[in-house]
Amino acid sequence: MSAGTVTAPSAPPTQQQPVDKSAADTRIGLRAHVRHTGALVRRNLLWIKQDMESMFDAVLMPIVFTLLFVYVFGGSVGQALGGGREEYVQYVIPGLMAMMGMNMAMGVGTGFNQDFQTGVMDRFRSLPIGRSSVMIAKIVVELLRMLVATAILLIVALIIGFSVESIPGLIASIGLAMAFGVGLMWIFLTMGVVMKSAQAIQGMGFLVLMPLQFGSSIFAPTASMPGWLQAFTDYNPLSSLADAARGLMNGGLPVAHDVWVTLAWSVILTGVMAPIAIHKFRTKT
């Protein structure tokens, strides 16, 4: 009599439970978040080193804008200020510093969207890292690019005759511009997550940013503008930022109100848009 082989019934396959990405992200501690952010900042900087063309906007844009506005509009606007081109240089350079954050912020949104399109975010999805670290690293690198652009702007400005009355005021102006730029970057990071293409982000960005830039005191005084436009510029945060930078760097203007308005806008934009951007990112990834 031969012995038969008895095969034990196989256990039914267990169904894989969905991973709660939000819960997984909250289990990562603060030190781990900082470590992940540092690693991602290094990754982004290495990418810039390999693709130096990505720095063209930060390097060339300050030069082009400075020379364009000073030598095209400097004579006529300078006369309206009671001087000439030299007077306009003192007026427009702090305004251009205020504008740097807006232009850099748009680059954050388009670059973030392109990372989705190229599959970079799929790699991040498979790693045990905090989702917010990915976005914070983008902002840190963009702030470094903004510092480079601001330094180039100041170098060109000094060459054409700009003078700084207060070094602490200059540092405070750069800090204000960076704080406001962070708030704008969270807006564009949200757009980078929810919009389908980088071209759509650029189109929407120009549609919003152009009225804000030219409907402000960045490039020219607002006294000669129509009444309805003056009302808009009074509530435009870019006007407050530009006026605060002028007062801090050159003196002669009260700056407390404009500084507090700029800081309030920066805190509100960051406080509202950062949680939205992080939530959208966690949901999408």
Distances (CA, A) of 248 to 43, 103, 165, 187: 36, 22, 9, 27
Residue 52: is its pLDDT beyond 80? no
Taking 50 as the threshold, does the pLDDT of residue 19 lie above it? no
The reported pTM is 0.83
Predicted confidence band of residue 26 (pLDDT cuts 50, 70, 90): low
- Report the distance separating Cα 26 and Cα 13, nearest Å: 30
Count the helix, strand and coil residues of the chain and give each as a percent rounded to the nearest 5: 80, 0, 20
Measured between alpha carbons, how far is 178 from 152 in angstroms, rounded to an integer? Answer: 16
Q: How far apart are CA 238 and CA 127, in angstroms?
A: 39
Give 7's pLDDT tier (boundaries 50, 70, 90): very low
pLDDT at 34: 81
Q: In percent, how much of the chain has pLDDT > 70? A: 87
Task: State the pLDDT at residue 62.
Answer: 85
Is the Cβ–Cβ distance between 169 and 86 less than 8 Å? Answer: no
Q: Which of 265, 106, 127 is nearest to 189 (CA)?
A: 106
The reported pLDDT for the residue numbered 25 is 52
Cβ 48 vs Cβ 40: under 8 Å? no
Distance between CA atoms of residues 154 and 268, nearest Å: 29
Confidence band, pLDDT 50/70/90 cuts, at residue 274: very high
If you average pLDDT over residues 139-158, what whole number do you get?
91
Give the C-alpha separation, 282 to 131, whole Å: 6
Closest CA to 218 of 40, 43, 96: 96
DSSP 8-state secondary structure symbol assigned to residue 162: -
**Using one digit for the tens of pLDDT, what is the confidence trace for 160-215?**
989 988 899 999 999 999 999 999 999 999 998 888 888 888 888 888 888 888 88
Q: How far apart are CA 229 and CA 78, in angstroms?
A: 21
pLDDT in tens, 68-97: 889 988 888 888 777 788 889 999 999 898
Q: Give the residue-averaged pLDDT of 253-279.
A: 91
Model confidence over 101-126: pLDDT tens digits? 787 888 888 888 887 777 777 677 66
Supply the pLDDT for residue 17. 43
Q: How far apart are CA 67 and CA 65, in angstroms?
A: 6
> What integer pLDDT is reported at residue 23 of this predicted model?
46
What are the structure tokens assigned to 251, written together? 């003196």
